[in-house]
A and B are shown apart, each in its own frame.
Chain A
Amino acid sequence: MTAVFQGRVVQGGPVDGRALVSRMGFNALAAFSDAILDGTPGALCSDKQNAALYGKDLKDAVLCVSKCVGSTTAGPVWEYVAENGLAPQAILLAGSVDTLTAGGLVLTDIWINRPVTLIDRLGDNFLDNVAEGCRVMAGTNGRVTVEPAVAING
């Protein structure tokens, strides 16, 4: 069943993509360190502590997370992944955005001109209604629609 949530648009435009979901804190440095080091075309999540995301391609995903945590190096990390086309399409947060993610993503908009969409305050039950592979759409008004994941045969 389709679920709809209302959040706060911090920045960015419309979203339409497949969800990756993490109920534990998302650590940008740990997640993107391999992508930064290897210079590979994708952005396979390198955070071993995050079982839900480890090894999955974060590039162009709609990243649905509870919180973001980790190192203050997040600023240059977000700049790098945005500049090199490795960033997720959007970050959707159940609660309020933290200072590291907010700062890093504002930099992608103002200094890199490749804004990563950020919508926060989607509510505690947002993560209960979104699963990996769900189609997630959002307009510029912060209204987020989640459609169930469709099983692909073969």
Chain B
Amino acid sequence: MRLTDDEQRMLNGEQGEVQRKLMQTLVRYGETMDAGCLVEVEGPGHLVVLDSRRGWGARLEFLEEVAAAGLKTRFPFTMDPPGPYRVDVLDLSPSQEQAVNKRYAGEERYRELMLKLGLRDRQGTTCTPWFEQVGNRPQYGQILAWAESSAVVFINSVLGARTHRNAGVIELISNLVGKTPLAGLLTDDGRKADWLIEVDVSTRPDPQLLGFIVGDAVLDEVPYVTGMQPYLSSSLDQTTLQYLHDFGTNCAVGGGVGLFHIDGVTPEARQSGQSLLRDYYKTLRIDDDMIAARQSVMIASLPTEKITPDKCLVGCPHLTLTQLLAWSQRIDDSLSKHHSSRLAVETIMVAAPEVVAAFEASGEPYQHFIDAGARLSSFCLEGLMQDRAISPATVITNSNKLRHYNTGVYYFDDELLAEAMVTGVATRSTSP
């Protein structure tokens, strides 16, 4: 890899041992993808290293080492939300509180160090940093160093930014050095499509299902999807953005997709059309039968005909304000239908702190939501489910991502979920 004089000096250790290791990490990382050089990071990063738990976040020793060297990112970054540390919506028993405090013993120091290294503020913790209220929204063509699968695939595909699917810690190192290897998804060639996905269906497919099928087929390659123009708007309205977010998230769950193109919809596909396809590409046709088959797998996991869930968790990834407003209405409708005033299942929805604030300011929708007994927070649901001391045994959700990575989590569509929240019983069919 060609390095500039400054980069070479850093690699030689002339700026200090920590800087040497940071540069060595980037050079080695770049060499694995045959990068010719490093390029400047052009805007704020987003980190996946959510909290101080070992195996989930950056190691405290690493953060201490880097902070002691006086390093800070050039642009203030955002990061994923922490697990359920000091949240008041879980009603934990004293022994559970104790277990959580033990697991998050380093959390305050972790936050302090992250702020020192460039975390924008204590509010900047969400897996959806590109939402209007949060404001870490990349520009078209901008070179960045992000992690968080659902965010990476969205900003690459829908906003046209350029970032690798960086592993946690690597994204922090890239932002601290201010450089990232020029290769793969940062280049025009790396953004070409390896797959033509022909969607030939009679109705708009569920975005999570479609995304999961595509990810499962293409793994970490780039798909170019046709047949979706009747269902999506090229002006990228709110409904389309939400669809693409759900689709992309599940492309990354089913496989390892960092970029997709949708014919006539996503910016690079609008600009270049099918010329984005490589000379030799693979083809997959997705029809109604394939969608139905995958759906049956996704919902087949229900252990009995009816389950009585301990909790309903919504917001993996974090919800938009529009979704929260829609949930308030959906809950109202379901309560009216069943002549009830309170939810029967303990329901927690999560969103970015700024989105929560905006929802709280919405007046009536927020009041209805709270009056029904629903709860609102900003922690990471995945973090809750991955903590055996506090995770509920049986959970219902509308997130295929949460279902995929955890046991005891059952997927339902929004209509069935709203019904179950009110009745306390989850089934695969709605009541009359």
Interface residues of A (CB under 8 A from B): 10-11, 25, 29-30, 32-33, 36-38, 48-49, 67-81, 83, 96-104, 106-107, 109-111, 120
Contact = CB atoms under 8 A, between A and B. Distances in A.
Given A30-B404, A76-B56, A99-B184, 17 more contacts: A29-B405, A36-B56, A48-B407, A67-B219, A70-B253, A71-B48, A72-B148, A75-B167, A75-B169, A76-B49, A76-B59, A97-B32, A99-B29, A102-B29, A106-B25, A111-B169, A120-B32
A99 B169 CA distance: 12
A38 B388 CA distance: 9
Contact of A72 (B29, B147, B404, B405): B147
A72 B404 CA distance: 15
B386 interface: yes
A97 B388 CA distance: 32
A37 B25 contact: no
B69 interface: no
B33 interface: yes
A110 B26 CA distance: 11
Contacts of A32: 55
Main secondary structure of the interface of B (DSSP, over half): loop
Nearest to B215: A69
Given A37-B388, A99-B33, A74 B219 contact: no
Nearest to B391: A37
A99 B190 CA distance: 13
B278 interface: no
B29 A103 contact: yes
B166 interface: yes
Interface of B: 21, 24-25, 28-29, 31-33, 48-49, 54-59, 62, 147-149, 152, 164-171, 184, 215, 219-220, 252-253, 255-256, 258, 386-388, 404-405, 407
A76 B51 CA distance: 11
Given A75-B49, A80-B54, A97-B32, A103 B167 contact: yes
Nearest to B34: A96
A82 to B, nearest CB: 11
A97 B258 CA distance: 14
15 contacts: A37-B388, A69-B255, A72-B147, A72-B148, A76-B49, A76-B55, A76-B57, A76-B58, A76-B59, A76-B169, A81-B55, A83-B59, A99-B167, A104-B167, A107-B167
Given A99-B33, A103-B166, A25 B256 contact: yes
Contacts of A11: 28
A72 B255 contact: no
Give the most central of A10, A75, A99, A100: most B CB within 10 Å.
A99
A31 B188 CA distance: 33
A106 B29 contact: yes
A101 B55 CA distance: 15
A76 B62 CA distance: 11
Nearest to B220: A98
B125 to A, nearest CB: 15
Contacts of A77: 55
A59 B383 CA distance: 24
Contact of A103 (B49, B170, B256, B388): B170
